[in-house]
């Protein structure tokens, strides 16, 4: 699943259109749609989207030893 797919799914689950999400983060719906199609949503834009949708972001790196390095936006 791509980041763009995840953003679309989040919008569905949060019952918000992509056009409304775009407006809430200060972009035109056309611009956001282009970024989603190209897969060029920046990390900063992703953080804005997650804050707008009130969801948490997590990223985990797993080392061969089993140790995990976790990054989140909490």
Alpha carbon distances (Å) from 4 to 1, 57, 67, 68:
8, 14, 29, 25
Query: Cα–Cα distance between 71 and 11 in angstroms, integer?
Result: 23
Least confident of 10-24, 42-56, 59-73: 59-73
Per residue in 35-61, pLDDT (tens digit) is 999 999 998 999 999 999 999 888 889
pLDDT at 74 over 60: no
Band the pLDDT of 72: cuts 50, 70, 90: low
For the record, the structure tokens of 56 come out as 């948490």
Band the pLDDT of 29: cuts 50, 70, 90: very high
Query: Cα–Cα distance between 38 and 47 in angstroms, integer?
Result: 18
């Amino acid at each position: 699943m791509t980041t763009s797919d995840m953003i679309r799914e989040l919008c569905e689950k949060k019952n918000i259109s992509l056009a409304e999400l775009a407006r809430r983060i200060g972009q035109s719906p056309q611009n956001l749609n282009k970024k989603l199609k190209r897969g060029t949503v920046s990390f900063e834009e992703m953080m804005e989207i997650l804050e707008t949708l009130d969801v948490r972001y997590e990223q985990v790196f797993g080392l061969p030893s089993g140790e995990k390095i976790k990054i989140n936006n909490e």
